[in-house]
Amino acid sequence: MALVLALGNPGARYARTRHNVGWWVADELVARWKAPYTGTSSLWKAWRARVGEHTCDVVEPLTFMNLSGEALAKWGEKHPFEREELLVLSDDVYLPAGAIRIRAGGSSGGHKGLESVERSLGGREFARLRIGVGEHGEGSLREHVLETFEEDDERKVSEAVLIAADAVETWLREGLTAAMNRYNRRTTQEEQAP
């Protein structure tokens, strides 16, 4: 069993904002896998797919970003999971728009959703895939993540969503190390290209 937790904010107002790119990847996976909808609660909505030999739940918290860990905790009460079975998808303002990074753990970088998940799990040791949404520059970080993309950045991020979905499939089939080796290196080489 595997669990993909995609961070975002519920409601049409936030659907295309920077903070919701985790949901964009989840939606791509659900469509790609033709994953049946398995239900909702006040805290989350979920799908379950069979991918090769693996069963994977895709969960989107409905708590708003800052309380994502509460949704995960409630999910875990009904669907127990091991920490190594979890992959969290989130946006990252410290990565260029369209870059992706996969890590086995690490700092939240000030991301309120990741901080909430850390509190819920009692530590930072969980896999995360972050999608770059571009730095916020001079303005407010909160406003930046709740805004929609400019056209060029949206194109880059939309392309990255497809690559991120490929990376999730690699994690599921081959493990975290394979996904990190394949997709972190690829992104770094692309950034260094002239």
Among 132, 168, 142, which residue's Cα sits nearest to residue 5? Answer: 168
| 19 assigned to active site | yes
Q: Are 90 and 160 in contact (CB under 8 A)?
A: no
DSSP three-state, residue 193:
coil
Neighbours of 181 (CB within 10 A): 14
Q: Which of 19, 54, 79, 144 is catalytic?
A: 19
Alpha helices by DSSP H, 49-180: 68-78, 112-121, 141-145, 151-174, 176-179
Radius of gyration of the chain (CA): 15
- Residues carrying an active site annotation: 19
